[in-house]
Structure 1
Amino acid sequence: MIGYVTVGTNDLPRAAAFYDAIAVHFGVGRMMDNDQFIAWGDMASPSAGLAATKPFDDQPASVGNGTMVALMVDSPEKVDAVYATAIAQGGSDEGAPGPRGDDGFYAGYFRDLDGNKLNVFCMVAPTG
């Protein structure tokens, strides 16, 4: 149902470098790129894309309290790798990768360079 998600940025080139590095883990690259926004994903895939955008109203980008983008991968190792890449690119820790509860949800949480909160997760065999 979701086609793409956008996160705001006040520095598009900086956001581009951050998300270019993360996109590699998903096997995608830029699918749209202009002076206003850059989107990553695969136009031929039914999976949702992700875009970083300068706000169209020309006001400063800000972080939505309670807003988070969740990126799905297929293994805990990929969760760890995406999280490590985000931190290496200057992102900040919001919760290191690991199991959350006993229902098989494995996730790591981080913020991008503009303060947008993201999570990378996968489902594994439940522990309980």
Structure 2
Amino acid sequence: MIGYIMIGTNDLPRATAFYDEVLRPLGAKHGLSSHRMQSYNLGGGAALGVCLPYDGRTATHGNGNMYALMALSQDLVREVHALAIAAGGQCEGPPGLRREAVTANFYGSYFRDLDGNKVCVFTRS
């Protein structure tokens, strides 16, 4: 159902470098790009993009908003989380099983990117 998600940034080169590093283990490649945005995808389906706000105002994160990226294994969840923290992201929850999750076997990690956007990387395996 999701076509794409856009994440606002105030520094596109910095955000692109961050997401290049963090999304690499998940197999994401550059998709559409322009002077104000860079998108990522797996060769089809939903995409994730980082962009400068169209209205020219400052990009801000929303409290309660979160973007969840699916990984194929717990090892990948741990790798992506470690890369995010090493690239300057802030930990919002280390990798682990989430007993409070709605579905069984939900293994996830949480971090904020360089602009404060909250991201989850998870697997159900």
Residue in 2 aligned with 1:99? 97
TM superposition score normalised by structure 2: 0.93
State the secondary structure of the residue aligned to 2:77.
helix
How many Å separate the matches in 2 of 1:73 and 1:87? 17
> Which residue identity lines up with residue 44 of structure 2 in the other structure?
S
Contact 2:26 2:76 (8 Å CA) reproduced: no
CA positional deviation for 1:30: 0.8
| Alignment: residue pair count | 122
Tell me which residue corresponds to 1:122.
123
SS of structure 2 residue aligned to 1:16: helix
Secondary structure of the corresponding residue to residue 62 of structure 1 = coil
Farther-moved stretch of structure 1 (10-19 vs 30-39): 30-39
Using the alignment, how far apart are the partners of 2:38 and 2:44 within structure 1? 17
Report if aligned partners of 2:105, 2:124 keep a CA contact under 8 Å in 1: yes
Distance 1:97 1:5 in 2: 23
Please say if 1:45 is aligned against 2:44: yes
1:28, distance to aligned residue in structure 2 (A): 2.2
Residues 12-36 of structure 1, C-alpha deviations (whole Å, 9 max, x = no match): 0000000011221121211111111
Paired amino acid for 2:60: S
- Residue of structure 2 in register with 1:60 after alignment: 58
* 1:66-107 superposed Cα distances (whole Å, 9 cap, x missing partner): 100000011100100010111111000000000000721000
The whole-number CA distance in structure 2 between the counterparts of 1:76 and 1:28 is 17
Match of 2:24?
Answer: 24
- Equivalent residue for 1:78, pick from 55, 62, 76: 76
Partner of 1:8: 8
**1:93 alignment partner, SS class:** strand
What's the counterpart of residue 109 of structure 2? Answer: 108
The amino acid across from 1:60 in the alignment is: T
State the identity as a percent.
Answer: 46
Q: TM-score, normalised by structure 1?
A: 0.91
* RMSD, aligned CA: 1.1
SS of the residue aligned with 2:15?
Answer: helix
